[in-house]
């Protein structure tokens, strides 16, 4: 019988950001329904590789994981000095592809000559 995190078999989303975890509880890896895990701004030194998770048959439903600002996270590349600017009028919004907690996602098209690098 699982105890601790492992007993939370119906858990789907786990928000643990700003938590000073330096290792993940073992029971976390036995959560069959966990789809979203967020541990941003923490002290986690490493995250298991995809091969490790597959070998352990861990987190089969995990679709989204955020580890930003943890030692385990890959460094964010610097932004280019100038980003291209696109006018809203030059965008053609197409069919809706989906939606989530952050809003709706649509297929779009930008006219090729509309991008102006500043």
Q: Torsion over CA of 17, 66, 5 and 16, rounded to 10 degrees? A: 10
Mean pLDDT of the chain: 84
When pLDDT is cut at 50, 70 and 90, the band that residue 52 belongs to is confident
24 to each of 5, 16, 79, how far by Cα in Å? 10, 11, 31
Name the percent of the chain lying above pLDDT 70. 92
Task: Indicate whether 97 pLDDT > 60.
Answer: yes
Between CA 100 and CA 58, with CA 36 as vertex, the angle to 5 degrees is: 145
pLDDT of residue 1: 47
- Checking if the pLDDT of 53 tops 70, the result is yes
* Pairwise pLDDT comparison (1 vs 21), residue with the higher score: 21
- Kindly provide the b/e burial profile for residues 1-34, where b requires at least 16 CB atoms within 10 angstroms of the residue's own CB: eeeebeebeebeebeeeeeeeeebeeebbbbeeb
The residue-averaged pLDDT of 42-68 equals 87
pLDDT-derived band of residue 112, with 50, 70 and 90 as boundaries? low
Give residue 118's pLDDT: 47
Measured from the Cβ of residue 44, the count of other Cβ atoms closer than 10 Å reads 20
Binned at pLDDT 50, 70 and 90, residue 95 comes out as: very high
Q: What are the residues facing 116 on neighbouring strands? A: 85
């Amino acid at each position: 019988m699982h105890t601790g995190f492992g007993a939370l078999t119906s858990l789907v989303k786990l928000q643990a950001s700003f938590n000073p975890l330096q290792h993940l509880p073992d029971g976390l890896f036995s959560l069959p329904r966990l789809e979203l895990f967020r541990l941003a701004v923490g002290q986690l030194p490493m995250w298991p590789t995809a091969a490790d998770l597959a070998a352990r048959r861990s987190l089969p439903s995990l679709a989204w994981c955020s580890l930003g600002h943890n030692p385990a996270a890959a460094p964010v590349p610097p932004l280019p000095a100038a980003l291209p600017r696109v006018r809203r009028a030059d965008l053609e919004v197409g069919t809706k592809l989906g939606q989530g907690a952050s809003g709706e996602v649509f297929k779009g098209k930008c006219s090729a000559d509309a991008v102006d690098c500043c």
